[in-house]
């Protein structure tokens, strides 16, 4: 089972303000109420979920909207891959930072909750 190192949560007002600007699922809102991101450490797993304060800048820096329209990054694997939510289907994907090919986008889980459960159990 993975260990989760969580960050201190932001205020409900800060979370609501951020979430009002982008259509993310309620389950992500609930996660951020408990922790403003954090890291999962497992035997064969490392997942970092970024702080809400980092999300917009990271998406701009990686130009996710230019190369992978409809996806929104929320974390990384500590290496060359990021984790993104598809803004329509709400499914979770791994996207390589070093590629701009949609052929290299891989479905991880069908929802953010499933993704977090997977991380906790790894």
Tens-digit pLDDT profile for residues 46-93? 999 999 999 999 999 999 999 999 999 999 999 999 999 999 999 999
Rounded to an integer, what distance in angstroms lies between the CA atom of residue 36 and that of residue 45? Answer: 20
The pLDDT > 90 percentage for the chain reads 84
Burial level of 112, CB count in 10 A (0-12/13-18/19+)? Answer: buried
Please indicate whether residue 86 or residue 1 has the higher confidence score (pLDDT).
86
pLDDT of residue 103: 84
**Structure tokens belonging to residue 86:** 């598809």
50 secondary structure, DSSP code: P
Burial level of 87, CB count in 10 A (0-12/13-18/19+)? Answer: middle
Whole-model pTM: value is 0.94
pLDDT of residue 98: 86
Instruction: Indicate the average pLDDT of the chain.
Output: 94
């Amino acid at each position: 089972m993975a260990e989760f190192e969580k960050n201190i949560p932001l205020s409900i007002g800060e979370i609501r303000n951020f979430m009002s600007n982008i259509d993310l699922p309620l389950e992500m809102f609930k996660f951020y109420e408990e922790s403003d991101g954090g890291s999962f450490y497992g035997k064969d797993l490392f997942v970092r979920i970024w702080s809400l304060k980092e999300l917009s800048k990271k998406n701009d820096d990686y130009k996710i909207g230019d190369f992978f329209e409809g996806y929104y990054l929320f974390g990384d694997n500590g290496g060359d891959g990021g984790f993104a939510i598809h803004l329509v289907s709400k499914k979770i994907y791994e996207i390589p930072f070093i590629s701009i090919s949609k052929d290299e986008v891989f479905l991880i889980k069908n929802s953010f909750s499933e993704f977090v459960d997977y991380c906790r159990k790894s």
